[in-house]
Amino acid sequence: MSCDQLLLENRCPIDKSAEPAWKPGSLNAMFEYLISEEVTSKYPATILSRDPWVVTLDDVISEEEALRLIELGGLEGYKRSEDVGEKKADGSYGSVVSTGRTSSNAWCVGDCYTDPVARNVMDRLSNLTMINETNSEFLQLLR
């Protein structure tokens, strides 16, 4: 542990000047936006609860887009879903095969990340959630 680059905090520092994804009231504002006429005129919404908020939106992703994302996940390589394991000396975490999850997943990186269909979906999700892409992780594709 004599090299400071062994610590995750040093390799991946948080930019203290970065705009936060959430401010007080942001979560409620996002849900109010999701049930607004602007959104529901494109994507029918069902409000299941307001305390806590639970909302579903229909038709956010077209069948063509879904099929392309499934295809891209296959190209990236679906792997058995894992859970977070023990913390390592460098501050990162290991992984263990999940005993409760039966899915396989792939992350939308590489060619998937630059694919025009995937980009449109990611941009749409960013706009709907009002969260800048820099404050999000890569799109996780499950099957």
Nearest to 58 by CA among 80, 34, 76, 81: 34
Lowest mean pLDDT, pick from 10-14, 33-37, 95-99, 127-131: 10-14
Q: 3 versus 114: which is more confidently predicted?
A: 114
Angle, CA of 138, 26 and 122, to the nearest 5°: 25
- Number of structural domains in the chain: 1
Structure tokens at 51: 């305390």
Q: What is the pTM of this model?
A: 0.80
Q: What are 47-104's pLDDT values in tens digits? A: 999 999 999 999 999 999 999 999 999 999 999 988 889 988 777 789 998 888 889 9
Domain containing 71 equals 4-142
List, for residues 16-36, the tens digit of each pLDDT value.
Answer: 887 888 899 999 999 999 999
